[in-house]
Amino acid sequence: MNLNIFLMNGHGFYVWSSFLLTTLACLFLFLKTRKSLKKLEKEFIKEAKTLTNKEFEDIKKQKVVKAILLSYSKN
């Protein structure tokens, strides 16, 4: 196998380290965002259980709330 593809005429170290750093940063941000979203969804569900039926029906009409309730029911 030709190693020049990975070495890139001496610039491979910088290219691959930048690629790795960017990938790790994106992964970290994704995981942190997903964790925060799950936490907020759980808080929303807990708060929704305290609402009266009329308040709950009014809120259920919102698009974001539908998505949260749908994802919650799958878990």
Q: What is the pLDDT of residues 34-44, one digit of tens each?
A: 999 999 988 98
Angle at 56 between CA 50 and CA 60, to 5 degrees: 135
Q: How many residues does the chain have?
A: 75
pLDDT of residue 14: 93
pTM score, whole prediction: 0.65
Distance CA 73, CA 65 (A): 12
Helix axes 63-74, 12-48, angle to 10 degrees: 90
Q: Measure the CA–CA gap between 56 and 47, rounded to whole angstroms.
A: 10
